[in-house]
Amino acid sequence: MEIMRRYCINDRPVQFQIVSDQAACMQNRFGRVNFEDPNFNIGLPVFTIHGNHDGPAGVDGLSSIDILSACNFVNYFGNVDAGSSDVGQISVCPIFIEKGATSVALYGLGNIRDDKLSSMLETPHKIEWMKADSEDDWFNLFVLHQKRRKGSTTNGINEQLLPHFLDLVIWGHEHECLTDSQEVPGKSFHIIQPGSSVATSLSNAEAKPKHAVLLEINGRQYRQTKLPLKSVRAFKYAEVLLKDQLGVEHNSEESLYEHLNKIVSNLIDKTATSGSEPKLPLVRVKVDYSGLSTIIPQRFGQKHVGKVANPNEILLFSRSTQRHRKHTDGSEEIEPNELGQKNVEELIAESDLKMQILDKRDLESALHDFVSKDDSMAFHSCLNKNIEAVKNKLNSAAKDFKAEDMVLQLDQCMKELMDEDSLPSKGELLCSQSLPTNTQSAFQELKCSSNDEQENQKSNELIETSDEQLPQVASQKRPVPADGSSASSRRRKTDLTSFYQTVVKNGHDGAKKCKTPVAGRYGTIRRR
């Protein structure tokens, strides 16, 4: 913000004008660009979209760029609400800029989850591109911030999916600096990838020189000029395969220390700091130690304290992810590790998760927001969004709801539970005796007349015996059988009288006496 205040706020006149509806394409409450505000002197207008780390998040969907926009330092555009997984359509509204005889239509699209944007680009009419009335007079410039996958539709955006009417695409998110415009086969536009302004990861792509791009447009023609960044911290990268290095003895730490020290010292000597405040360089050496021993990286870095900015992270030991496949003739062929070539998104896609309420893509988006944007409410918002969607579907289908459908589902659920339980239990006994075998029949029996219900109650009254024969015993009430037969024909074979006589007979014969029968809730049973 200090840099913007120093270089953007001044009395220099702005030489171009905005001729489009600013309220439709600008993401601010004032509905106009910052240099047209009479309360501010903006000499260098900045137009920006959001990326994957500063995208909208939280309850109100705010971005850190909203703060800069509220302060009138930048002009925030390209923020579209992609919504949930069932989003219908989004509109990309350009900013029409005119200066003399040159007219530029500036399209912008902030970062959206790659798989969602790729799916929308593949589906016709999912993205509506607002165009000028006379397309031939406008230079169409598109700015986006996504993963770039050339010729692929997985884990990134395929450049072939972009519309034909574009003239130039400024591609963000990718850190590798590719300032020369690249032609897309089969398309009429070119791509410029400026890359990151500083090294954000210690990888080979970040070790290339950093540049900014000055783009000049005249009519439908343009040219770019790359400007090297002189104040960037120097970064050197190298890869070493130990088994191919001469002079490295196996299982000798001293030999390994000496060899790696020479490599790091040569990289440090190649770095040339420039600028008013020289900065210590970054150095990364990736060492493949397959079949050999390693050393402690922190101990190795102590020799280079004060010489590099990352003494504890100079060395990165790794083993080759390739394996050798032997042929019948004895030759070997390097076979890539399939698991090492897959990412998390592809592994999740192969798992084929079958979710009924939560959407898999919404969960992936919530995980991305939780990790990348530090949004603690990401999963909570995802859950609430999907629950509301399910409620709306249920409410819309409430008019067509029938009680018979619920009975059929209940009947199926009971049958599944009975099939799962192999041992007799209280719940199973209740399902087999107290409920009919067919729940749909039971639902129809609820419509019986009151006379039939009274007759059924009389046939299922409690049966009591005298105190001399047996303690007070009661049998359970039985519902009306589903087949319409009488209750007496479906009684148990063992009634109270025959059960009592059997106990007395065993007692007179001197056989093993049975314990006193007890009246349970579901009929008279013999306690064992």
Residues identified as active-site: 53
Q: Beta strands of 42-122 (E only): which ranges?
A: 47-48, 75-76, 90-92, 95-99, 102-109
395 to 96, 108, 398, 413: CA distances (angstroms)? 44, 38, 5, 24
Measured between alpha carbons, how far is 143 from 168 in angstroms, rounded to an integer?
A: 9
- What residues contact 471, with CB distance under 8 A and at least 6 apart? 516, 518, 519
CB of 71 closer than 8 Å to CB of 40:
no
- What residues contact 444, with CB distance under 8 A and at least 6 apart? none
Three-state secondary structure along 330-398?
Answer: CCEEEEECCHHHCCHHHHHHHHCCCCCCCCHHHHHHHHHHHHHCCCCCHHHHHHHHHHHHHHHHHHHCC
Three-state secondary structure along 410-450?
Answer: HHHHHHHHHHHCCCCCHHHHHHHHHCCCCHHHHHHHCCCCH
Phi-psi region of 93 (alpha: psi -120 to 50; beta: other; left: phi over 0): beta
Other Cβ atoms closer than 10 A to 245: 15
82 to 140, 272, 279, 466, 482: CA distances (angstroms)? 23, 46, 42, 78, 55
Measured between alpha carbons, how far is 91 from 369 in angstroms, rounded to an integer?
A: 23
Question: Helix (H, G, I), strand (E, B), or coil: what is residue 256?
Answer: helix
**Beta-bridge mates of residue 226:** 213
Phi-psi region of 299 (alpha: psi -120 to 50; beta: other; left: phi over 0): alpha
Tell me the HSE value of 182 on the side-chain side, using a 13 A CA sphere. 14
Measured between alpha carbons, how far is 350 from 111 in angstroms, rounded to an integer?
A: 25
CB of 402 closer than 8 Å to CB of 409:
no
* Residue-level length of the chain: 528
State the DSSP string of 184-229.
PTT-S-EEEE---SS--S-STGGGSPPEEEEEEEETTEEEEEEEE-
Measured between alpha carbons, how far is 507 from 513 in angstroms, rounded to an integer?
A: 6
